[in-house]
Structure 1
Amino acid sequence: MIRIDSLVKRYGDFAAVDDVTFTALPGRVTGFLGPNGAGKSTTLRILTGLAEPTAGRTTVLGRRYADLPNPGLDVGVLLDASAQHAGRTGRETLVLAQRTMGLPDAQVDAMLDLVGLTPAESKRRVRDYSLGMRQRLGIATALLGDPQVLILDEPANGLDPAGIRWMRDLLRGFADDGGTVLLSSHLLAEIEMIADDIVVIGHGRIVASGTQAELLAGAGTLVRADDEASLAAALTAAGHLADPGPTGGVATDADPAATGRIAHTAGIPLTELRAADGAGLEQIFLDLTADDQRDPAAPRAHAPATTAGVPA
């Protein structure tokens, strides 16, 4: 389990992380999302003992990372695959970690096999690895000590589609076996496919958190009718947003039940009525972090409702 309580990190007057609190639970994959500069990497660096907080506390398995006697046996960490020593071979990288943790020699070959690095590849210098190979080596190092917790920052960077699928299956299996996974990634479609819980950070503060189902449930409603102009007018008159949906129809912030009642009262037959979860995590993420985006998203008909007690 990972706990982050009232975490603050300031650099002078700038708050990189401002009162961040969330929990990542065993048996679940927690997706940690936010635009560049939102505070994700700072939070993960504090969590793994690479930076000191200004205030607040982070714990892994009930202890500060720095207080774990042999952290690799409890927590697997991959924050930057490009930071590996370029002059070592892949095997040397793992052997050094294996000896540091006091593990049997056989664990090195087991991890190389697990992540799909061949014997020939393991003898190459890391400087000659592609980014995808470095990611695989980083995952092998993180898993070497058979930890209970994984903390990963953009682990799918540089992986091809087959590698991304492999990564997804690996992390899903780790969580299903009772492990805790905290995963930061900009590949929102991948997060949507694997994450049980989602935490969204913007401007250093948590803007939404909860299960993925809770976030997607807040996406509003997509409704279709033969007379969509009248339907949109009825929804607007009832105090709701109503705009063209991304694939046609009318998108509204009213929930499906309210939408159906408004249409019935207005005498407008509907041809489709459903929760607009088809908008997916990407649109919800853009809505929640609109003020943090370098490239603003196109206007949208509605924003997600409050999720898990946090205003969107």
Structure 2
Amino acid sequence: MDLTAPALAVRSLVVRRAGRTILSDVSLAVPRGQIMGLAGRNGAGKTTFLRAVLGLIRHEGSVLFGVPRDRVSVAFDSWPVMDGLDAREHLTLTGAYLGATVRIDEMLDRVGVPRSDRTTPARRLSHGTRRKLSLACALVGEPQLLLLDEPHNALDPIAIRELNNTLASLAEDGVAILLSSHLLDELERVCEAVTVIDGGRVVLEGPTSGLLASRHVVLRVDDARAAAAALPAHLGAVTTDPRTVLIDAHSDPEIADAVRSLVRADVAVHAVQARSGALADAIIDAMGVTG
């Protein structure tokens, strides 16, 4: 097995349902030992993408795993815990099914399930604790690729920090993690790269550091493609919809030069918005959401 290959490589994935295109030409790669964020608003297609990757729904395009399939694990947002079993019994059953030895208390410590909750039937656990339990089950068998669907949902701030620390530790151990979420601040804290899906297509992708360092200015124009063609190459113009361009200008003179370039090219400029540099801003701009 090629250890330099990504743990997961998806190319031109398309999902259609009842004659409607749900995902269109989505591609991404998840390197070993890195946390990749899959961002988008509710209903953008994030969970559908994960289900397609796992072969749970029909799709077009290619899905290539760079790790053994039995070392791929997932925790969906709607993970069906068994209400009558407690946390320890869940891990015992999961280990037996996978033929894996489970250090139960060590695993539950790792994901933050309180000791007082470990013999409580799952139906009486809080939603946040149930989410921690689903993550513990996903970690049985020591996965090399971990797919997580909205793992921060229903967690309090302390539990979110504990989860982020757990994910960072897993990545340090070489685990590749694809993490879907609509909580943009958490993606910024934990992810090394982000792919943004909106309307079933990729609208933004790249290293988190690059997205934070760039895309600081949003230009609302009458023709985004014409604007991108007219702007100087060093501004790194990216179109996110037919009337929106993101550029890397970091100073007032650069912004003024960009506007002059558009005016000379007969591209009408309707608004210029400077952003603070938060990842959430870049993602919201890419989704074409106006405040």
What range is the shorter-chain TM-score in? 0.7 to 0.9
Secondary structure (helix, strand or coil) at the match of 2:142 reads coil
Assess, with a 3 A threshold, how the Cα gap between structure 1 residues 282 and 254 changes in structure 2: closer, same or farther: closer
Distance 1:11 1:193 in 2: 34
Which residue of 2 is the match for residue 77 of structure 1?
74
- Once residues 284 and 62 of structure 1 are traced to their aligned partners in structure 2, the CA distance between those partners, rounded to angstroms, is 32
In structure 1, the partner of 2:61 is: 56
Q: Counterpart of 1:31? A: 37
For residue 62 of structure 2, what is the amino acid of its counterpart? R
Q: State the distance in 2 between where 1:210 and 1:166 align.
A: 26
Task: Kindly tell me the number of residue pairs found equivalent between the two proteins.
Answer: 245
Identical aligned pairs, as a percentage? 34
Are the structure 2 counterparts of residues 208 and 87 from structure 1 closer, same or farther at C-alpha, using a change threshold of 3 Å? same
Cα distance, 1:49 vs. partner?
Answer: 2.8
Structure 1: unaligned runs, 5 residues or longer: 223-238, 241-251, 264-275, 291-295, 299-312
Partner of residue 3, structure 2: none
- Structure 1 runs of 4+ aligned residues shifted over 4 Å read 260-263
From 93, 112, 128, the equivalent of 1:132 is 128
| C-alpha displacement of 1:188 | 0.6
RMSD: 2.6
The one of 90, 93, 97 aligned to 2:87: 90
Residue 261 of structure 1 and its aligned partner are, at CA, apart by: 9.7
Tell me how far apart the structure 2 counterparts of residues 287 and 211 of structure 1 sit (CA, whole Å): 16
* 8 Å contact kept, 2:249–2:255: no
What CA distance in whole angstroms lies between the structure 2 residues aligned with 1:198 and 1:254?
Answer: 18
Compare 83-92 and 174-183 and name the one that shifted more: 83-92
Q: Which residue number corresponds to residue 287 of structure 1?
A: 285
Match status 1:149 vs 2:145: yes
CA distance in 1, matches of 2:290, 2:95: 46
Is this contact kept in 2: 1:108–1:144, CA < 8 A?
A: no
- Structure 1 residue 257 displacement after superposition: 6.2
For 1:193 and 1:93, how far apart are their aligned partners in 2? 30
1:123, CA displacement in angstroms?
Answer: 1.2
TM-score (normalised: structure 1)? 0.72
Q: Deviations over 1:155-180 (max 9, x none)?
A: 11111111000011111111122210
CA distance in 1, matches of 2:280, 2:161: 19
Unaligned runs of 5+ in 2: 1-6, 219-230, 233-245, 258-273
Alignment of 1:173-184 (within 5 A): 173-184=169-180
Number of the residue aligned with 2:290:
297
1:254–1:153 CA distance, 2 compared to 1 (3 A): closer
